[in-house]
Copies of this chain bind each other. A is one copy, B any other.
């Protein structure tokens, strides 16, 4: 909702909301905005320009919030319940954020569908920045996120279950890691996302059997004989 005065540029009645996952310190995190002068939070979102494809709009919105281009992202659901967005909340929000009283015929007061995207990014590379309506854009542990406006909690829940579902099926987890990583890093990621403990030997055997990892030099920290190998994801084609 960063350009609310430029509605003429955008497709009517439809928004994009992005659940942006990062991984750091054994925690799965998502990026949240805090609206100015409120304690209300939301996942980052935006609108679709007349001349943009859907995925281009999502990439632009993600770039605006993270500074990153070529982000791994996927549609996961369209949120379209007729009561998904309360106009009373919207009015109170806009009043708090910039003192504006939305008139009943303002385009934002119409019904909106929202296309949910989830994105997986390398936490260490992102530079989160708030939009025009928010004070902060920060990482929150998935287990301790604040209450979100509208149906954004449902969005996060559904994005997380999609991420879990596809972690094995599509090997998408590597998007959450730096380019090189140890087998421990990888197992740690899987355990965190799936919220379960995995057997080290089984996990390692399975990952190596997939033929998707290139083994590099050892990671040079601590005693050389205990140094773990570094790996790089080489794709699954």
Contact = CB atoms under 8 A, between A and B. Distances in A.
A129 interface: no
Given A11-B13, A13-B11, A54 B75 contact: no
A137 interface: no
Contacts of A82: 50-53
Contact of A78 (B13, B75, B169): B75
Contact of A81 (B11, B14, B53, B113): B53
Given A11-B113, A50-B111, A55-B80, 12 more contacts: A11-B13, A12-B12, A13-B13, A13-B14, A14-B14, A50-B82, A51-B82, A53-B82, A54-B113, A75-B78, A78-B115, A165-B169
A2 B14 CA distance: 22
Contacts of A115: 78, 80
A95 B14 CA distance: 30
A55 B115 CA distance: 14
A127 to B, nearest CB: 28
A77 interface: yes
Nearest to A12: B12
A165 B162 CA distance: 14
Interface string A206-219: 00000000000000
A48 interface: yes
A210 to B, nearest CB: 18
A13 to B, nearest CB: 6
Interface string A63-93: 0000000000001011011100000000000
Contacts of A165: 169
A14 to B, nearest CB: 6
A113 B48 CA distance: 11
28 contacts: A11-B13, A11-B111, A11-B113, A12-B12, A12-B13, A13-B13, A13-B14, A14-B14, A14-B113, A48-B80, A50-B82, A50-B111, A51-B82, A52-B82, A53-B80, A53-B81, A53-B82, A54-B78, A54-B80, A54-B81, A54-B113, A55-B80, A75-B77, A75-B78, A78-B78, A78-B115, A80-B115, A165-B169
